[in-house]
Copies of this chain bind each other. A is one copy, B any other.
Amino acid sequence: MSASEIDRIPEGVIERLPTYLSVLIQLRQEGSFTVSSALLGKMTEINPAQIRRDLTHFGSFGKRGVGYEITTLIDQIQHILGSDHTHRLVLVGAGHLGSAIASYNGLRARGFLVSAIFDNDSHKVGGRIGDIIVQDISELGRVVAEQSIAVGVIAVPPEAAQDVADRMCEAGIKVILNYCANLVKVTDGVTLHNTDPVRELLHTLYYLSRTEGVARV
């Protein structure tokens, strides 16, 4: 079978790749050179067979009897995800959450660069977050066009989220990550990822009231 055939890759596979990547990077830092699916499975709590099967969607990266060369696998996964080059992104919302995102080292470490920050609050516009000066939200379209930016992050209060999403879609943003509690709608062709921190907590809560049935999620 040819791995380059673009068969539909299950959503779950794509979701697990960044997890593999995190662990691989961790292992490389610790000085390891190769890793088996068994060890990877132990670290991620994902079935080793599943890890091997996930990877074969994209090719054969391992050596039988040996395992996977860590650096090679990191490169491959980064290539698959498209994180083998830097992605500039725009951030809307210069409040606490926006500041946290903008000053988060993990972003740069994994190939993301905050190019511009926007807000609609005139008290915040002109201020600084790290090295970046907060601009008025009306500048969003211009900046996105000029720098052909594809990724947008929403970190505004719930009631403003849909408006920001609309502006991003209109500006030509292709991937939106929404950190706000309100679900938003986007234009066809725009990939949307809603991640509400409290939704995660609520979900987790379910297991708290059930002494048995504890899950790792």
Contacts and interface: CB of A to CB of B under 8 A. Distances in A.
Interface of A: 8, 11, 14-15, 17-19, 21-23, 26, 43-44, 80-83, 87, 95-97, 99-101, 103-107, 110, 112, 150-151, 153, 157-158, 174-175, 177, 179, 181-183, 188-193, 195-209, 213-217
Given A175-B208, A209-B82, A195 B198 contact: no
How many copies of this chain are found per oligomer? Answer: 2
Given A106-B158, A183-B44, A205-B83, A199 B18 contact: yes
B204 A175 contact: yes
A17 B81 contact: no
Contact of A215 (B96, B157, B191): B191
Nearest to A180: B106
7 contacts: A14-B206, A81-B202, A96-B100, A96-B104, A191-B208, A191-B214, A191-B217
Contacts of A106: 158, 181, 196-198
Contacts of A215: 11, 191
A177 B191 contact: no
A177 B200 contact: yes
Nearest to A21: B202
Contact of A17 (B101, B191, B203): B203
Given A11-B217, A26-B183, A83-B205, 14 more contacts: A15-B203, A21-B202, A81-B206, A83-B202, A97-B104, A100-B100, A106-B181, A106-B197, A110-B198, A112-B198, A151-B204, A179-B197, A189-B214, A191-B207
Contacts of A198: 18, 104, 106-107, 110, 112
A26 B196 CA distance: 14
A216 B204 contact: no
A18 to B, nearest CB: 4
B107 A22 contact: no
A26 B175 contact: no
Contacts of A201: 107, 110, 112, 151, 153, 177, 193
